[in-house]
Amino acid sequence: MKPLSLLSLFIFAFIGHGATSGTNFIEALTLDQALDMAERLQPELAEAKARVEAAEGRVRQAGLFPNPDAVARMESARFRDRTGQAEYPVGLSQSVPLGSRLSKARQAEQLERELWARGLEVKQRDIRQRVHSAFATALYQEKACQAQTEILQNTEKAVATTHARLEVGDALREDVARVEMELARAKVELKRAESLREQSLAALALAIGDSALSVRSLAGSLDVTFEIPTLESLAANLSAHPEMAMADADVRARNARVDLAKAERIPDVKVDLLYRRLQASKENAFDVGLSIPLPLFNRNQGRLREARAEVAAAEARSRLTQNELTTRLCESYLQLAAALANSRTLKTEILARAETVLKSAEARYAAGDISLTEILPVRRDWAAVQLSYLESLRDVMLAWAEVKLFANAH
């Protein structure tokens, strides 16, 4: 290799090392750790928390009494007769809100803050469900990769056995070629499983909220025991679900806007209090003024109509949320029940028997009692059962991640 090429490789290696030096590596990540990290790192949660803080600022601002205006005027100033002297009254002008508009404004903003807070709870649960699902998928891919590794090892043993039988004249070269084809297929499947594992770990890092996070491995078991509540108990708690609480807060916030629009129909009164010095008599004097807008054209009728329409829309959204949650609960519960039944059947009735059949067939093949054509389908069936069982456990975790949202609704 040329010296320039060596230098280039060194530069590329140095750049690559620097680009990844700040990457966080995590070994044996658990589900609880992933959920805690998402709470701290997920940008969507940071945005939702910031919106709640912004709503708190609007609550503090709403309902404040308006600031007075400082007034300074020049009066009685003549254009031609310069012997006269102008007067310069100074004072304050204060707007006085009527009709409890300030209290209505504060109440409306308080309910808006509650709406954003409920939205934060919904977002938190959504993030937790996404992390739970991403973790289940990544854990499945990791277990699937381990299963493919075991399949590859068993295939390598089969290759060795077939070569041994060929040496003693108990197998054909065609058998060796066929089992080596199975070995090549197993290697391809392992590479594919490894790639899917890396993709699922990257998806988990994205769900946590840090795409630069490098998760090396996971700690956990797909085969866990869940305490599944009844569908009736879950449906009874549906009203306490954060999405329903958010919909209820939305309706109350829209009604508060209607009350505010009604209060704003009453115009503010403006009071003026001015001081002046009378030039002719050299005496002090004051002016008092009162101005009241006449609601002849603008009676806030458009804003009131808008607010009432928003209430109707919020009530419709509340009914829609109720229907969607009920449907999601039934679907998720049925999916969980089906996934549990499938995994239990595979575990109790199929998995152990497939293991027994494989061991028996391997022993018979090693002894020369059966041919390669007979052993290959048995190995494929065993591998398919292993992967099917892992898939069923993943389906259980995915379904439970959804049902858990209803189980912990309160």
Mean pLDDT value of segment 199-207: 93
Q: In what order do the strands lie in the sheet with 269-278?
A: 69-72, 90-96, 269-278, 283-291
Closest CA to 212 of 404, 24, 352: 24
Rounded Cα–Cα distance for residues 179 and 376 (Å)? 8
Q: For helices 173-208 and 101-167, give the axis angle rounded to 10 degrees.
A: 160
Whole-number pLDDT of residue 88: 82
Whole-number pLDDT of residue 280: 67
CB atoms within 10 A of CB 65: 10
Residue 284 identity: N
Whole-number pLDDT of residue 191: 95
Percent of the chain with pLDDT over 70: 90
173 pLDDT above the threshold of 90: no
Mean pLDDT of the chain: 85
Mean pLDDT value of segment 346-364: 88
8 Å CB contact between 101 and 260:
yes
Name the pLDDT band for 175 (thresholds 50, 70, 90).
Answer: confident
19 pLDDT above the threshold of 70: no
Question: Rounded to an integer, what is the distance from CA 326 to the centroid of its chain?
Answer: 21
Q: What is the pTM of this model?
A: 0.78
Name the pLDDT band for 5 (thresholds 50, 70, 90).
Answer: very low
Closest CA to 161 of 356, 355, 358, 368: 368
CB atoms within 10 A of CB 320: 11
Rounded Cα–Cα distance for residues 189 and 379 (Å)? 14
The tens digit of pLDDT for each residue in 37-84 reads 999 999 999 999 999 999 999 999 998 899 999 998 888 767 766 555
Residue 151 identity: I
CA angle centred on 5, ends 4 and 8, rounded to 5°: 90
Alpha carbons within 13 A on the beta-carbon side of 271: 8
Whole-number pLDDT of residue 81: 62
What is the CATH number that goes with domain 26-64+107-265+312-407? 1.20.1600.10
Q: Which three-class secondary structure state does DSSP give residue 88?
A: coil
Mean pLDDT value of segment 200-227: 86
Rounded Cα–Cα distance for residues 14 and 173 (Å)? 49
The tens digit of pLDDT for each residue in 358-371 reads 889 888 877 778 87
CB atoms within 10 A of CB 62: 19
Closest CA to 158 of 389, 357, 373, 385: 373
Tokens linked to 122: 């919904």
CB atoms within 10 A of CB 31: 19
Rounded Cα–Cα distance for residues 215 and 408 (Å)? 28
Q: Which three-class secondary structure state does DSSP give residue 363?
A: helix
Closest CA to 51 of 121, 126, 2, 105: 121
233 pLDDT above the threshold of 90: no
Mean pLDDT value of segment 209-219: 89
Whole-number pLDDT of residue 237: 82
Whole-number pLDDT of residue 8: 44
Whole-number pLDDT of residue 307: 94
8 Å CB contact between 152 and 183:
yes
Mean pLDDT value of segment 365-385: 83
Q: Which residues pair with 278 in a beta bridge?
A: 283
Percent of the chain with pLDDT over 90: 42
8 Å CB contact between 311 and 255:
yes
274 pLDDT above the threshold of 50: yes
Question: Among 79-83, 143-147, 330-334, where is mean pLDDT lowest?
Answer: 79-83
Relative to beta strand 90-96, strand 69-72 is: antiparallel
264 pLDDT above the threshold of 90: no
Mean pLDDT value of segment 94-107: 89
Mean pLDDT value of segment 174-189: 89
CB atoms within 10 A of CB 63: 17
Q: Which long-range contacts (CB under 8 A, 24 or more apart) does 38-47 make?
A: 38/127, 38/128, 38/131, 38/207, 38/208, 38/209, 39/124, 39/127, 41/208, 41/209, 41/210, 41/213, 42/127, 42/208, 42/209, 43/209, 44/123, 44/127, 44/209, 45/120, 45/123, 45/124, 45/127, 45/209
Among 72-81, 173-182, 224-233, top mean pLDDT goes to 173-182
Q: What's the longest Cα–Cα distance across the chain?
A: 138
